[in-house]
Structures are given as structure tokens and as C-alpha cells.
Amino acid sequence: MPADDVLTLRNITKSFFGAQVLHGINLAVRRGEVLGLVGENGAGKSTLMNVLGGVVSRDGGSMELKGSPFEPTSPRDALKAGIAFIHQELSLFSNLTVAENIFIDELPTGPLWSVQYAQMRAKAQEYIDAFGVEATPVTKIGSLPMGVRQTVEITKAVIKNAEIIIFDEPTTSLSQKEKESLFKLIDRLHHEYGISIIYISHILEDVFALCDRIAVLRDGSLVGVDDRARLDKPAVIRMMVGRDLSQVYPKVEKTIGDVVYEARDVVQGRAVRGVSLELRAGEIVGLFGLMGAGRTELVRCLFGVDRMESGQITFRGRKLRSITPEDCIRQGMAFVTEDRRQEGLFMPKPVKDNLVAVGLRHMTGLLGMVKRPQETAEAAKAVGDLGIRVQHPERQQAKSLSGGNQQKVVLGKWISQQPTMFILDEPTRGVDVGAKHEIYEIINGMAKKGATVLFVSSEMEELMGVCDRILVMHGGKIIGALERSEYHQERIMHLALGGRGS
């Protein structure tokens, strides 16, 4: 390998449960460079870094670090070899001090394993001075702002002789000032210390400001890597999304009516910063955005699963006073959560119990006793209508079904209530192609009957195929909207990345 390459990845492949996630990645990282790594959600960035960091094992290909083969079997191996990972969620202990954190896995000990605090503090002070950490060795991490904590984490990495530092979305919780400090530090790291940096971020301006080269991943393949000077933002976006709309999406004839759902100025923490939207009867509206845009937080607020700080919801002409799942359901709304295992299904319970979970309160008779025949009939109907492949719904546990069938069970429990407003958060995630198509048809069917659908997804393609309108979120706000006639992959991605400039 060339003298100035510190890391070489050759033909790295990886599959999870039969689905291939990385297709033969060939990438080299040069000594002392800052390499930007960009790509949509699901492009494979995290998986690739996890392979590099020893978190998951690769299926095929090879890695070379400083000329020797590199096969980490655990994060510890990667750390020892000189690869440090600075995640979004830092790995510091907030109840311990700066010095303790820096030396956490190599605490200086004396007789009888007693920790040499004075020695530790002195050494920590040296590093604090060298890296400009705005804290003292005895400050507790918990009392420091995110930016300073990050510097401590970076310091930790450097003193462990890291040769490569990977930053994963480092600026999401930083203020502008802290960001500038980080950039200055990164500058020093690669100029003064000769450390190579892999910088993963959705914020293209930052990537262009910092990086010497930029690598673009798409659908698990490396689409291109080039010097920053030879690239511009539109070119990068084109590489990120450029694909043929190969899948054919089911079409449906329907009419779109008046506005039935209105949300005004919904706010929740830093995730949802004032969102307003209007939805019509029979409309399927897509909500696109990259990780951290606030889509899931928004829809959870709309259904009352999480509490919104402020905002006004009007549904079918009525201002909703209290917003809880119970109330929303009573008004005729439904919500398919992002995580069906944790919040969508009762995994150890039979499919039948899951299918009637929402409608059960309408199947009671005298003294609150549940009408079993009605329960069985409704469950059977859902199984039939949605094509759920299950032999014995009253006995088979939900966890025994395939992902696609599980998702259909979740949809089934809501559809049987005939809601007029449907919020779906990643309804086709982890679902095979065949079932996905069936789910699109189900969604179309509901819209045809006049229901309103809000469809959150990270897959631009499916939104473009199914939705009448796409709203794009970024940084907690709806930054743009496109009608069907205006659908354009690069334009949508551009908006999702912040939309500024062109």
C-alpha cells in the first residue's frame, strides 16, 4: 500500500440476516488527512465504521492498518490498534471527574492498588493545557457543557495514541462557538499530530469546510471518493441519491378532499422547533428527513405518545384539548410506531390478542365481559384482509412471524378501527419487497376510502412512489414541501440536508 496510506479497506462486504448491507467497499485513508464520509440513512456508514471499529465482524474483504493486516474482534482490539471512535453519545462517565475519565482504563496505581490521584491530576492538567480543555482535572463531567465533554473524549483518544479518529455526527449537540472550537481542534489534530480523521456528517457545509477528501456511500456501495477541491455540493448530492426509480408503485384512483387535520406551531425541546402542517382527506403525505431531523419526535407528539410543549391540533374542525393516545384513538386516529417490537406488538402474546388490542373496548358486553366470538371474527377478518401469513392466530405468538407479517399485524389492529387519520412511522422498515408492496396497497386502499395518511420514511423512493405530497424536515422544522409534479430526488435531499444555497 502507498506510503502515506494509514488504513486500507479492500472489498469489505457485510450482510445481516441475509440482506447485504455493504457491497465490496474499497477505501483508503491517508495519513494526516480529514476524510468526509457522507450518505443517506441506511447507506451503510455506521455499519462500515462498526466493521472498522471492531463492533461487528466483516463477512468478506480485508483491512490493513499501517501495512499489517487488521482483524479486530472487539472494540478493544481496534482501540489498541489506534482507532478511536467519538460517537454522538459520548462514552464518558458523568459522575466522575475529567482526570478520572481520561485515565479510566489505565488509572495510575501504587501500593495495594491505591489510585495515585495526585499523579493523575498533574498528568491530566498537562493534557488540559495542551488541548485547551475548558475545565480542571477535578471538574465532574456531568457539570460540563457538551462541547467541553467532547474535547475530553478527544483528549482521551489522543493520549491512547490514536492514529485514526472517527467522528460520528459530532456537531448535533454543539453550539456555534463549540463547533468552531471543535474544528480548530480537528485542524490541530491532523496538522500537528498527524492523526487521520474520518468525519461523518449530514451537514455538507461542515464536510466541505473541514475535509480534504469526501467519500460518498449509497445503498452499501462506495459511489465515489474525490478531493474536495474537485467536488461541489450538487455533485455530492447527486452521488448520494442518484438511482433509478426501479420499483413500480401501486397506483390508485381517488379524490382528495378538504383539510381535515391541522397542526400549528408544535414544539418539543430541541427536536421539534415549531412545526405546522395541514392534511387533507384522502391525501397521503410523506414526511422525509435525515436522522435527527425530528420526524419521529414530531409524530409521537401529534399522537400524544410523548408530550409536546406547545402546539395546537385541530382535527375535523375540533380543537383537540388533550392529546393522549386514548383521546386520539377516540377521535378516529391511528399510529404505527417506528419500533414495532417495543411499542407496536405484544411479542409473546398470540397474533389474535395483538390484532384486537385497539378494538377490544368496543367488543364488550354485560359487566365488561369481552365477547369472544366477536374477537375471533374480527381477528380472522384482519388476517384475511391483510393477507397475514399465520396458521393459528389464537395460538401463535407474534414474535414467531416474519417482519413483514408482524408489520401487517400492527397495521391490522389499527385498520379494524377504520380510522380517518393514519400516522405511519417507517411502516416498511425491515419488511421484504413483497410485503412492502402489499403494505403500499393497504395504504392506498385507506386513502381511497377517504382517510388521511401521514407517512414518515427514510426511503425517498417509496415516498415518491406512494405520496401525493412530500414534506421535508430538517433541524426540527419543515423546511420544504413538494407536490407530486415537483418530485426530484436531488431537490428533496438538498432540502433534507438543510436547503441553504443551491
Contact positions toward other proteins, by CB under 8 A?
303, 305, 325-326, 328-330, 335, 337, 342-350, 353, 357-358, 360-361, 364, 367-370, 390-392, 395-397, 399-402, 413
Q: State the Cα angle at 416 between 414 and 417, rounded to 5°.
A: 70
256 or 347: CB nearest other proteins: 347
What is the nearest approach in angstroms of other proteins to the Cβ of residue 424?
13
166 or 302: CB nearest other proteins: 302
What is the nearest approach in angstroms of other proteins to the Cβ of residue 348?
6
What is the nearest approach in angstroms of other proteins to the Cβ of residue 367?
7
227 or 326: CB nearest other proteins: 326
284 or 390: CB nearest other proteins: 390
HEC letters along 240-273 = HHCCCCCCCCCCCCCCCCCEEEEEEEEEECCCEE
C-alpha to C-alpha distances, 369 to 240, 365, 374, nearest whole angstrom: 56, 5, 12
Nearest to 150, CA basis, from 189, 188, 179: 179
C-alpha to C-alpha distances, 444 to 371, 455, 471, nearest whole angstrom: 31, 12, 18
328 or 493: CB nearest other proteins: 328
Cβ(98)–Cβ(195) below 8 Å: no
Cβ(303)–Cβ(333) below 8 Å: yes
Q: State the Cα angle at 342 between 341 and 346, rounded to 5°.
A: 70
190 or 413: CB nearest other proteins: 413
151 or 354: CB nearest other proteins: 354
What is the nearest approach in angstroms of other proteins to the Cβ of residue 404?
11
Residue 77 CB burial class (10 angstroms; 0-12, 13-18, ≥19): middle
Say which residue the cell 501504587 belongs to.
110
Q: What are phi and psi of 344, to 5 degrees?
A: -105, -30
What is the nearest approach in angstroms of other proteins to the Cβ of residue 344?
6
What is the nearest approach in angstroms of other proteins to the Cβ of residue 360?
6
What is the nearest approach in angstroms of other proteins to the Cβ of residue 343?
5
What is the nearest approach in angstroms of other proteins to the Cβ of residue 397?
6
241 or 390: CB nearest other proteins: 390
C-alpha to C-alpha distances, 54 to 84, 85, 172, nearest whole angstrom: 11, 11, 25
Q: What are phi and psi of 36, to 5 degrees?
A: -85, 140
